[in-house]
Structure 1
């Protein structure tokens, strides 16, 4: 079942920064793109390497003391079930981790992601709720445990992280398509979970098993790793190269995207003077709670030299990005306004 390639798809340096078994999207690679992240530049987070799974022999097993009718479904059976299409973001909990060190002077351990460990795709698949109801889920069910079919990670076994039954029965998708095509190997073929708003580890790739339990479940991925992180916070990014060079005195149309797992983004502001004053950006494109909000602002650089652009967003819960984020021992959930460096040069 297992392949030897860490990541199967090409990783051209103009689209990605590589981090061992993972690959981070370059935000300037989103410039000029549409609402969705093209599959060829969607970030990859692997614990081991991308497996090669034969859909002809693959099955999804649903079992446990929380269902009365356990069973297993083939790929063709799943694709024949009632389907839903969902535009949703998937974001690694460590997205932005390197800014704990570079921006706040307190480095955190782990993959040193910039802001590119996120992507929004159009997913299609079967609502998890449909499968659980088909399995006659018990009123006593507490947790749902999806398990991936990638190689075991060190001594911890297969990647798996429990979901509370309320979330599993809400908006979770068992997806088999991404951006209108079957899932690519790196993104979970033949089937993955998509858990809107939650940290990416919840959206288990290469899904093969779902246990439904009448008790709370624990795995290394909610005790040792990713402990106490569930919903992603509000963040923003510019569709602009890091250390970009922009011409003095010429209007610049800056574009970016903001998102939050807590609710729809309601306001985006940009500062060109280190956070002393803020200007409100204009929105463009769809405004979806499960995805992100594209925005734009026009700016005329009036001072030569190096400087930073800051972006902060506010979501429907009232959460607003601050200038500093309290330190997190594992470097999760960096949600401060990132200081994006640029150089203003003679045009």
Structure 2
């Protein structure tokens, strides 16, 4: 099959080989420092850049008692809507019940490697530069970007570590990183300019290979090495295909915590590629690498090569719009609701078990299956006996893949896709 660099797994696999052989160019970090960190990280299981400890349990988190914002996050984080996890805020899935297909901005999860910068749209500039351009650097103001033809897309953005805590709590496998349950995802309606229009105006050449978007948040320092600002390369073919420079979210100007004034939205690729607060884009005639596509956001552990394995697209997941550990009354019918999604294809079927996986019933879907989004579903349930039980939901997408009973382990806890056992107590 011919190499298609716009496919994330093939692109990552190729770049990993080039990086291991010294054939890809470092983008802002000395290769010796990165190799030292890489060796230390793989020996210990992972580097866990930007991570918050070890995901040893789903309760590995702190929640603000008064609903005040976490350090580094601008918007309020009331405990009924969010669980604060270090520099991040996870959406409590129960708070999505009745909200419709789009995630309201006040409930959209926040993934920060450092803290949210406050950037005024009037002073924002995007610099496009590099040896993959026909001329010198080109700058785009916010007004110039908004003057370009606008496109709108409804797409989910999901943290690659979403579901990470279940490696520990369900499978007994320790992993590093923020202990997300299932709330590290949100579906937004994005409006912005095509990245392809910006690159063509800047003079992208046929010899361009990679682009490297870089955020305007604080630099990341780990183990004494300054890794610079968050950045992850992608092939020019993907950049010219379907990537947005988004300046609106759900019909409003993009809020600070979600990348405002401008962020990338990269359909079908893992969330780290949708760089927030984008401030410059390097266009290179050579392959590029950064810490975010070599020693983190890769798969390490037993069964994977020493240099790591590339991501595939985001995996299948299903979540109940119900608190973990909820108490429900016996002999009273309630409508179980939830959402299922897949990075590979539309979700076509959702099955629910109310007895820990002994019997399964097909749930009713409330949305037309669509790539890049989730489907909402429901199933009535009348508990017949008291005691502890587990609710399970499993999705099947248009590729024919169904959520498995267990997820393939990796030390950084990415891409969890197993059926989640949702504990409830009937009283």
TM superposition score normalised by structure 1: 0.95
Q: Does 1:95 align with 2:177?
A: no
Give RMSD over aligned pairs.
Answer: 1.4
Residue number in structure 1 paired with 2:59? none
Residue in structure 2 matching 1:304, options 386, 411, 416 = 386
Secondary structure of 1:201's match? helix
Counterpart secondary structure, 2:413: coil
> 2 CA distance for matches of 1:146 and 1:286?
33
SS at match of 1:56: helix
Where in structure 2 are there 5+ consecutive unaligned residues? 1-69, 299-309
How far the C-alpha of 1:302 sits from its partner, in A, is 1.7
Deviations for 1:308-329, whole angstroms, at most 9, x for unmatched residues?
1111111122221111011111
Q: Work out whether residues 196 and 261 of structure 1, in 8 Å CA contact, stay in contact via their aligned partners in 2.
A: no
1:198 partnered with 2:264? no
Size of the aligned set, in residue pairs, is: 342
The farther-off stretch of 48-57 and 153-162 is 48-57
Residues in 1 aligned to 2:127 and 2:398: alpha-carbon distance in whole angstroms: 37
Q: Deviations over 1:222-244 (max 9, x none)?
A: 01110222521111111111111
1:242 pairs with 2:302 = no
Distance (whole Å) between structure 1 residues aligned to residue 344 and residue 236 of structure 2:
19
Q: Equivalent residues in 2 for 1:5-154 (5 A)?
A: 5-69=71-135, 70-154=137-221
- 8 A Cα contact 2:130 2:284, kept in partner: yes
- Asked whether the 8 Å contact 1:232–1:260 carries over to 2, the reply is yes
Q: Which has the higher helix share?
A: 2
* Contact kept? 1:59, 1:72, Cα under 8 Å: yes
Local SS of the residue matching 1:146: strand
TM-score (norm 2): 0.78
Instruction: Give 3-state SS (helix, strand or coil) of 2:121's partner.
Output: coil
Q: Is contact 1:197-1:260 (8 Å) kept?
A: no
| 1:99 shift after superposition | 0.4
- 1:213 equivalent in alignment to 2:284: yes
Contact in 1 for aligned 2:174/2:411 (Cα 8 Å): no
| Structure 1 residues 5 and 300, CA gap change in structure 2 (3 angstroms) | closer
Aligned mates of 2:123, 2:396 — CA distance in 1: 46
Given that residues 348 and 369 in structure 2 are in contact (C-alpha distance below 8 angstroms), is that contact kept between their aligned partners in structure 1? no
Is 1:15–1:26's contact at 8 Å kept on the other side of the alignment? yes
In 2: Cα distance, 1:115 partner to 1:44 partner? 13
Structure 1 residue ranges without an equivalent (≥5): none
Q: Note the C-alpha offset of 1:337.
A: 0.5
Indicate conservation of the 8 Å contact 1:35/1:286, yes or no. no
